[in-house]
Each structure stands twice: as structure tokens, then as C-alpha cells.
Structure 1
Amino acid sequence: MSALNGPFARLLTFATWLTSPLTPDDYLGLIDPLLDARHPAGQVTAVRPETAHTSTLTIRPGRGWSGHQAGQYIPVGVEVDGVRHWRTYSLTSPPDRPDGLLAITVKAVPDGTVSPHLAHRTEPGTVLRLGSAQGDFVLPDTLPSRLLMLTAGSGITPVMALLRALMSRRPPHPDVVLLHSTPSPGDSIFGEELRAMQRKLSWLTHIEHHTRAQGRITPEEVARHCPDWRARETFVCGPQGLLDAAENRWKRAGLGGRIHVERFRPTPLQTPGPPGPGGGLVLFTRSGVHADADASTPLLAVGEAAGVPMPYGCRRGICFGCLTPLAYGRARDLRTGELHHGAGQLIQTCVTAAAGPLALQA
């Protein structure tokens, strides 16, 4: 996409004067969604089954993609039966992949709407909407000499990105122990690739744990396979029970600062009770603008007052022309009082207000 930089980018900046309140990206997106920097998209180039229920989608990102770090996740927008749904998935590709492609690995959830569609019914050529990469489940700038990676099920997905990123680095590599739990060998996502890595890489120890034969993995089992676990920087991803047990064990050992946990579902909020004054600082991530918002002013008006070019239509919550993804935080529907939260969730900015600090992809 290098041809879209330099003079072309300057031309777009000039064209903004002519197309306001819309932007040139709004028109480019009608020609080709991959040209739209305001609402980034990517085109699926390949779909590869990993297990009977899991597939990896390779994606060519369009002009609006701003990059990622290994271990992060992205909101993905996919149309199913004419309705666009947003879900978040870990990126399983390293950030310096030579061909510039991205990859997400999707496990089909029984009775789900989006994940079965992505894993089993997505064809090459499909265009997906992409949110900004998010999350802090990433390697530190200064790598420790020893790492422990503890995963179960689809929890291997962000860790696979970390391993691939480590492979692309120059030696010396840290000593890595990966303890991965699945029901059976055939259920292991990336199973063959991980076994090949174990044979090839002197710095990786890959230990498979199969729950149907061995039961659930326990902290005692971790200590048996990795006696020096206290001395290792630890990354954990998997089901809630595994995460809670690991966090408790590390905290009891006084090592809470050395464990990094990735939760696919956020920790439930405490019972919020009745709405308070609300409002908060709003960040518009694409423009870098900050603005204070109260609990009753629509976010569309907040953005416009701050000079942010916001999409809009009827301004009454009817046409959905103002839909904008949340990056983080909570917004309240001024009509119903419903709270909207979660990275990538689309909100109607003309009828929602801040319910605390938040960020919008605008």
C-alpha cells in the first residue's frame, strides 16, 4: 500500500476541505473498502483449518491498518445475513511478517453467530472490518532470560503470536517452556506446528497436557513440569478456572508482578447500581483529540465541538449513519439508559453519551 503514502496522502488532506463534513475516505470506501483509512478493512486471502472446529484466516489489511504488537487482539466486523457483527480475536501473526499479512485464528463456538461463520463459511476474497490492535499481553522491551507460557484450548492463540515473534528475533533467545493443555492431541490448535518447533528450536520446550487422560492442569502440575517457575516471567491464557488458579498461586508466592494474564472475556464488573453523574474524558483515537463530556451531551456533539470530523446522518438515532466503534470505556444510550461497552462495539454517537472515560475510533 506504499503508493497510498506521500503525495497521495497530501492530496487526501487537501480533498478534506472539499468533502467536509464527510471525508475523502468516505468516498474511497465506496470504491474499495481497503482504501478507507477512516474505517479500516482487510481482505481474507486464505482460510486454513487447524482442527475440526478452528480455522486460521489470513488477511491483507487495507490502508487504514496501523500495525500491532505480538500478543494483541483486534475487533473484527463481519456481515452475517446482512447484519454486521463485531467480535475480538487474537492476532496470531507476528508484526514483522514479510508479506505484511495478518492472521486470526477462530474457534467456532457451538450455537454462535459469528465464530462458526468465520471458521467454516468464510471464503477468500471476503472483506472484514478491522478495529485497532489492543491489549497489553505483549513481550517486555527487555526480554527476560526465561519465560513460562501456560495455555489451554484457544488460549494458545496470542501465545502463538509471541512464539512466532521470538522466532523472528536474532539470538540469543530466552529459554521458553510452553505448557499447553487440550482435551486430546487432535484438539490442539497449531499442534503439528508446535511439535515441529519443539524439534527445531533448542530454546523451546513444548509440553502437552491432555485433560481427557490426565485431568485438568493444576498449579502442582505446572511446578512438576517447570520446577523453576518462580524464576520465569509467565504468560497465561485460557479458561477462567486456569487463569484464577494461576493468579492466586503467583500472588501467594509474592510473584504477582511476574505473571501476565489474557482474558478473552473481561472480568465482570461489580454491580454498577443506579447511574451516577457520568461523563468523562473522551479520546478520539484517529485524530488524537481529547475532550471533556458530560452525561447528557451526545458524543457526536462532543466530537464536533472539539473539531473532530464525525460521521452523521439524521442526528436522531434513526439512520445509523453515525455508527462509530468504541475502543474502550462505556457509553449510555440517552433514550433507554442502556450501557454499551466493549472494544469494537458500534454505537450511535448522536444518541449516546459518556458514562465514564472512553475512547472512540474517530
Structure 2
Amino acid sequence: MNFAASVVSWSTRGLVRGTSLLTTPLRLDEYLALANPLWAVRDLRGRVEAVLPETPDATTLVLRPGLGWRGHLPGQYVRVGTEIDGVLHWRMFSLSSPAGARDGRIRITVRASPDGTVSRQLAHRTVPGTLLWLSPARGGFVLGRPVPRRLLFLTAGSGITPVMAMLRTLAARGRLPDTVMAHSAPTRQDVIFGAELRGLAARFPRFRLHEHFTRAGGGPRARLTTARLPEVCPDWRERQTWACGPAGMLDDVERYWDRHGLADRLHTERFHPVFRTADGGGGGGRVRFTETGVEADADASTPLLAVGEDLGLPMPYGCRMGICFGCILPLVHGRVRDLRTGRAHGEEGDLIQTCVSAAAGPVAIEL
């Protein structure tokens, strides 16, 4: 985006904010959105301008975000909303684009899950021109400043996405620091951004890429574990490390760094919460949904969201990991346990996050 366009963009944002109070019952940006959804500041939208296949099950969507977009740091994620059969569904995706791209566009790379309604919709059924809802960029899985002199990236599957944003940002500056990257995928063809990663390794001598294929030779092969880390990266102890991938991989990595007293050198990104065991004060119970009269027994580790869905109830939800607050419902009585911390809490009338709360004794939820 050139300087003149930037001035116009910021002036427009200021005008929208300054005059919203004068336009009732609708805000000014709501009127503007009728003409162009990307002009809305508060209800942020993005228009798909290109759809780029990466692998058979992964697709990159190139988006033109609206005026409310504030940019992102490489490694952050964004919540994306898409309408399916008249219902707006939200999911989180890491941004795979470099920070501060001149054309003002951003990218998300979506891997379609076999049972993922939203991921399959975005990866396989989205076309240029589609409008998606967006949240501001969030997350602390970032390089920070100054960038460490020696880096180690450990990724698997779609966990490559936030790291790719980091690599693209560094490469755009014309240099990469001393960097080792170890990435796991079923086959060479399944490596998201595979050709680009290999191109970076050829272009930057200090970027060393190690690819591990779990279906090498057509048969199953063990995933890359920390047991092989000293072989892949002998000086791993001296590097700041960013890891993103399946839960089992991250559990292995976190235990390994803890065991060596290096937890402060490790940065991980999880897109599913880590559920804790009970710390006393209730081990599950009878869950009743007061408006529908439906009830069922639930154990101490099953989220109330899953309990309601198993009963066929129209449970509100969003990210399913306790970030977006799209699943909150009023607690009528009883106590619940936060599955992220293991702590029990709750009083009548509290709004609880059903995706990360389990029954800590008999519970009644308003639904």
C-alpha cells in the first residue's frame, strides 16, 4: 500500500469512528457496509481474492481485509467466520502471510479435516469473491524483538503455518539468522509449502531444513521425536525454539525441555486446550438443561458442550478451546470445573464457557 493510499485509509477510519455516534439507529460503518462490506470497521470482513492449493488437503486463501484490520505479527492467528447453511461458524487459523505485506493482503492456510465441516468448506468449497468474517490478529507465538541469533523450529502437519509466516517475514528482509527447521509430514507431497521451504534452504545457507516423512517407502514410520533431536540439531540447547503441531508432539517437546531445565527457551502453540485432572471438589455429576428438560450423567473430564451435543441440543459454540466465548451459557445451580486449570468454581447466574467446563457435581445449565 503506498503512502497516499495509507492516508486515505486512516482518514476513512477516523471519519467512520468520529461520526458513528451521529447516525442512529445504525452506525455509520453499518451504512457503509451496505455499499461495501470491507468498509465496515467494527464488523471486520475479508474478501477472498485467490484460492491457492498447497497439498491435496490444504489450501491457502488470500484475503483482502477490511478497514478495521490492524495488521499482525508473524506467528499470530485469526478467528475466521463462514456461513454454512445459514449458520455462522467460527474457527481459528494461523496467518501464513508475512507481516506488513505491501499489497495489504493476508493469507490463511486451511487443512481440511475429514470430520471438519468448517475446514472442508474453507479448503474445498471457497471461491474468489467469498466474504468471510475476521477477528483482529491474536496470540503470543511470535518471534519478538530483537530476533534471536539462533532459531530452532519444530513443526508437523499444519503446524508449519505460523512458522511459515515467520520465515516469510525474515526472508522478505533479505536475510535469515542461523535457523534449523525440523518438519514432519506423511510424505514429501504432503509438506505444506514444501517447494518454498526447499527454495529457502537453497537461497539462504544458514537455513537448514530437515524433513521427516512418517510414511516413507509406502509403509508407516515413527514420527520424529525428541530422542532424535541431538542428531537433527546438536546445539538445540543453545537455540530459542518454536514448536507447533499435534498434541502428542508438543507434549513430548515440553517434557523434554522441562527435563533439561530449558522451558524458558521453548515457545509452543496449541489449538486444543490441555485438560487437567480433578483437584477435588466433585468428580462429574448429573447435568440438566433447564429449558429443554434434558439431562444426563457426565464424568469429570467431558466438556459440558460435548454433553449437550451428545444429547442433540443446539449448543452455541465457537473456537471450542476457551478463547472466543462463543459457547457461554448461564449456570442455574451447581459448580463446574475448568478443564484447563482443574479448579472448580461457579455460582448461580454465572456465565460459563461450556467448551472448557465439566461437571463438578450436579449441575443445571440454562438452555
Report the TM-score when normalising by structure 2: 0.74
RMSD: 2.8
Counterpart in the other structure of 2:69: 65
Paired position in structure 2 for 1:205: 208
CA distance in 2 between counterparts of 1:327 and 1:29 reads 27
SS of residue paired to 2:117: coil
The structure 2 residue matched to 1:75, chosen from 79, 94, 97, is 79
Question: Which secondary structure state, in structure 2, belongs to the residue aligned with residue 181 of structure 1?
Answer: strand
Q: Is it true that 1:334 corresponds to 2:330 in the alignment?
A: yes
- Determine the structure 2 residue equivalent to 1:292: none
Task: Name which of 258, 262, 266 aligns with 1:251.
Answer: 258
Shift of 1:331: 7.3
* Contact 2:318–2:325 (8 Å) recurs in 1: no
Q: How does 1:107-126 map to 2 (within 5 A)?
A: 107-126=111-130
Deviation at residue 32 of structure 1 after TM alignment: 1.7
CA displacement at 1:184 relative to structure 2: 0.9
- Residues in 2 aligned to 1:9 and 1:253: alpha-carbon distance in whole angstroms: 50
Query: In the alignment, which residue of structure 1 is the partner of 2:168?
Result: 164
Find the aligned partners of 1:82 and 1:89 in 2 and give their Cα distance: 22
Asked whether the equivalents of residues 330 and 355 of structure 1 are also in contact (C-alpha less than 8 Å), the reply is no
1:128 is matched with which residue? 132
Aligned with 2:234 (options 196, 216, 227): 227
2:309 is aligned to: none
Q: Secondary structure at the match of 2:215?
A: helix
Q: Corresponding residue for 1:314?
A: none
Cα–Cα, structure 1 residues 10 and 261, in superposed 2: closer, same or farther, change >3 Å? closer
Percentage of matched positions with identical amino acids:
46
The CA distance in 1 between the partners of 2:33 and 2:350, in whole Å, is 27
The amino acid that maps onto 2:156 is A
Cα gap change, 1:88 to 1:232, in 2 (>3 Å): same
Matched, 1:195 2:198: yes
Runs (5+) with no aligned partner, structure 1: 275-322, 342-351, 357-362
Cα 1:196–1:12 shift into 2, 3 Å? closer
Q: What displacement does 1:266 show?
A: 2.1
Residue 357 of structure 2 corresponds to none
- 1:22 is displaced (CA, Å) by 3.7
Gaps of 5+ in 2: 283-316, 339-348, 354-367
2:32 to 20, 28, 35: 28
2:91 to 82, 87, 94: 87
**What is the SS of the residue equivalent to 2:16?**
helix
Partner of 1:260: 267
Partner of 2:344: none
Aligned counterpart in structure 2 of residue 179 of structure 1, from 176, 179, 182 = 182
Deviation at 1:9, TM superposition (A): 4.1
The yes-or-no answer on 1:5 pairing with 2:1 is no
Normalized against structure 1, the TM-score is what?
0.75
